[in-house]
């Protein structure tokens, strides 16, 4: 066996030019495949992160009954047990976002509207969805006792900085909740449904208002690496009382998003397969021509007594080795390229960019820099190369020795 490999290796370098051309076909194939895959995976991940950070977060801890009945009564107590659990997984958790939220009535003068109140921790909330980016006026909950209201709500209630907002509703375990709050900030939110009715308070102020000390409606947990949440949740569940808490990933909370993502994944796959087909032909073309060139050589070898089987194995090994070289070169070249692209992604231009930005998203087509991209594409191209390498085998068996030797 090793004899064949040695022969194949020597043969390859006998005609460097031939080898280099064929290998470069493979090289280009790998580069293009990794760029495509990186792009599809990158956009896919961006889609997820955009949807998740503006809604449920990656992981959410809730009181057991909150899912069925999202009311103030079904809040969880942010006790030491919870803190310890989070601390225990601090290697995998980047940060947490505590929230307490409910509907209340907001009143200004004679106008009364239902609004969604969210008690938040400004620092961690900003980390999750950069909500302070579109601050229109005032400050982002810097002092105590003030409220930050959404732009649409400010419009409808004709509120400006310094005006007083009346909030009336129900607190924890039936207690009444009522308060007067000065407007200390106005923020523009990207989703119109939210922009019309959000009121943000500091977490401690909200908990006081609802008579819900240390209580939260949800605790969002952001893992260090996007994509690890399912597995992290499994591990964390071991330390949680299942009778008292629920720990969900965004997949469980937004099942319809999963279907939409599936569509995206499939269209990405189709694109890659088309690419494989095209580059496959490219590699095949070079191999075919190479065979053409060596027809005489094969004919002579066979007439000298080499068995077809042996020649076939050598020819196969040669093609495989060339593919392998091309793949290695492709990865070597691909890594710096993808690295560059991941920091300088493709940007949309003109009105399209403005439209995307209005949804609160960056108008880019991102590239994912990840081991899985290289591994999967290297493997794919290697397989293609291997399949194409079978063609020489086929040819070897079909060669007419006399004709070939004489050509």
Partner 1 sequence: MSACILLGDAGDSDVKKCTFETMKEAVILAGFFAKNMSMKQTVFRFGWVLLFFLSGSAALFAQQADEIVQKMEDKMRGTSSYFEMSMTTVRPRYTREVTMKAWSKGDDYSLIFITGPARDKGIGFLKRKKEIWNYMPSIDRTIKMPPSMMSQSWMGSDFSNDDLVRESSMVKDYTNRILREEVLNGYNCWVLEMTPKPESSVVYSKIIVWVIRENYLQLKVDHYDEDEAIVSTITFSDFKVMGGREIPLSMEMVPMNKENNKTIITYQNAMFDIEIKDEFFSVQNLKGMK
Partner 2 sequence: MALLIKIAWRNIWRNPSRSLTIILAVVVGLFAGIYASSISFGFVDQRFENSIERFISHIQLHNPDFVHDGEGFQLVANPGEKINWLDTSSAVKTFSVRTRVNGIVATAGVTNGAIIVGIDPAQEKATTRFDEWLKEGSYFEGVKRNPILIGSELAEKMHVGINSRIVLTFMDLEGNITSASFKVAGIFKTIDKPFDESNVFVLRSDLVKYLAVPEAVHEIAVLLKDPAQVKAVGDAMKLRWPETSARTWYEISPELQYLQEMTGQMLLVFIFIILLGLGFGILNTMLMSVFERTREIGMLMAIGMNKRRVFGLVLLETIFLSFTGAIGGMVTGVTLVKLSANKGIDFASVAGDSLADYGYGSLVYPSVSTGFVLGITAMVFVIAVLAAIYPALKALGLVPAEAVRKE
Residues that bind partner 2 (CB under 8 A): 17-18, 21-22, 24-25, 28-29, 32, 35-36, 39, 155-156, 256-260, 262-263, 266, 270-271, 274-275, 277-279, 281-286, 288-290, 292-293, 346, 348-352, 355-356, 365
Nearest to 252 by CA among 27, 52, 86: 52
21's contact among partner 2, partner 1, none, with CB below 5 to 8 A by partner kind, is partner 2
174's contact among partner 2, partner 1, none, with CB below 5 to 8 A by partner kind, is partner 1
33-41, 175-183, 296-304, 376-384 -> range binding partner 1 (CB under 8 A): 175-183
Nearer to partner 1, 108 or 302 (CB): 108
379's contact among partner 2, partner 1, none, with CB below 5 to 8 A by partner kind, is none
Looking only at the bridges linking them, the beta strands covering 176-187 and 147-150 are parallel
Residue 214 in contact with partner 1, rule: CB under 8 A: no
Residue 379 in contact with partner 1, rule: CB under 8 A: no
64's contact among partner 1, partner 2, none, with CB below 5 to 8 A by partner kind, is none
Q: Could you give the CA distance from residue 207 to residue 218 in angstroms, rounded to a whole number?
A: 13
Residue 193 in contact with partner 1, rule: CB under 8 A: no
Give min distance, CB of 159 to partner 2, in A: 14
Q: Which two tokens stand for residue 9?
A: 């290796």
Give min distance, CB of 206 to partner 2, in A: 24
Residue 194 in contact with partner 1, rule: CB under 8 A: no
Give the DSSP H/E element, type plus range, for residue 187.
strand 176-187
Nearer to partner 1, 2 or 110 (CB): 110
Give min distance, CB of 178 to partner 1, in A: 4
Partners of 105 in the beta sheet?
114, 168
Give min distance, CB of 84 to partner 2, in A: 38
176's contact among partner 1, partner 2, none, with CB below 5 to 8 A by partner kind, is partner 1
- Give the ranges where 99-176 is alpha helix by DSSP (H): 122-129, 151-157
* Cβ neighbours for 92, distance < 8 A, ≥ 6 positions apart: 223, 224, 225, 228, 232
DSSP state of 132: G
Are 320 and 389 in contact by the 8 Å Cβ rule? The answer is yes
Q: What is the DSSP string of 232-251?
A: HHHHHHTTS-TTTEEEEEHH
Are 399 and 52 in contact by the 8 Å Cβ rule? The answer is no
> How far are the Cα atoms of 57, 143, 252 from residue 125, in angstroms, in the given order?
10, 16, 22
User: Which residues would be at the binding site for partner 1 (CB under 8 A)?
Assistant: 73, 105, 107, 110, 112-114, 166, 168, 170, 173-176, 178-180, 211
């Amino acid at each position: 066996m090793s004899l064949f490999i040695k022969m194949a290796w020597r043969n390859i370098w006998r005609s460097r030019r031939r080898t280099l051309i064929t290998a470069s076909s493979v090289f280009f194939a790998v580069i293009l495949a990794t760029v495509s895959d990186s792009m599809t995976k990158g956009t896919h991940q961006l889609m997820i992160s955009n949807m998740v950070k503006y809604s449920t977060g990656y992981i959410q801890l809730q009181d057991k009954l909150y899912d069925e009945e999202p009311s103030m009564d079904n809040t969880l107590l942010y006790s030491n047990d919870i803190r310890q659990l989070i601390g225990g997984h601090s290697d995998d958790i980047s940060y947490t976002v505590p929230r307490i939220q409910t509907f209340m009535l907001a009143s200004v003068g004679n106008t009364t509207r239902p609004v969604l109140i969210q008690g938040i921790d400004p620092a961690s909330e900003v980390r999750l969805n950069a909500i302070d980016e579109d601050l229109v006026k005032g400050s982002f909950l810097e002092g105590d006792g003030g409220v930050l209201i959404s732009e649409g709500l400010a419009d409808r209630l004709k509120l400006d900085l310094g005006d007083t907002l009346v909030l009336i509703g129900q607190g924890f375990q039936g207690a009444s909740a009522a308060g007067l709050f000065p407007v200390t900030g106005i923020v523009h939110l990207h989703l119109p449904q939210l922009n019309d009715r959000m009121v943000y308070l500091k977490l401690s102020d909200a908990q006081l208002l609802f008579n819900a000390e240390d209580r939260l409606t949800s605790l969002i947990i952001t893992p260090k690496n996007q994509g690890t949440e399912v597995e992290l949740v499994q591990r964390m569940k071991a330390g949680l009382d299942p009778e008292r808490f629920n720990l969900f990933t965004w997949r469980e909370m937004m099942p319809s998003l999963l279907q939409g993502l599936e569509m995206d994944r499939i269209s990405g796959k189709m694109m890659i397969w088309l690419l494989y087909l095209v580059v496959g032909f490219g590699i095949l073309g070079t191999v075919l021509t190479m065979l053409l060139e060596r027809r005489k050589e094969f004919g002579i070898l066979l007439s000298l007594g080499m068995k077809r089987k042996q020649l076939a194995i050598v020819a196969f090994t040669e093609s495989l080795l060339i593919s392998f070289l091309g793949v290695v070169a492709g990865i070597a070249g691909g890594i710096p390229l993808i690295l560059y692209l991941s920091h300088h992604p493709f940007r949309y231009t003109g009105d399209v960019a403005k439209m995307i930005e209005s949804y609160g998203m960056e108008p880019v087509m991102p590239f994912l820099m990840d081991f899985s991209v290289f591994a999967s594409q290297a493997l794919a191209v290697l397989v293609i190369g291997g399949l194409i390498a079978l063609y020489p085998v086929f040819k070897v068996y079909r060669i007419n020795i006399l004709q070939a030797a004489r050509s």
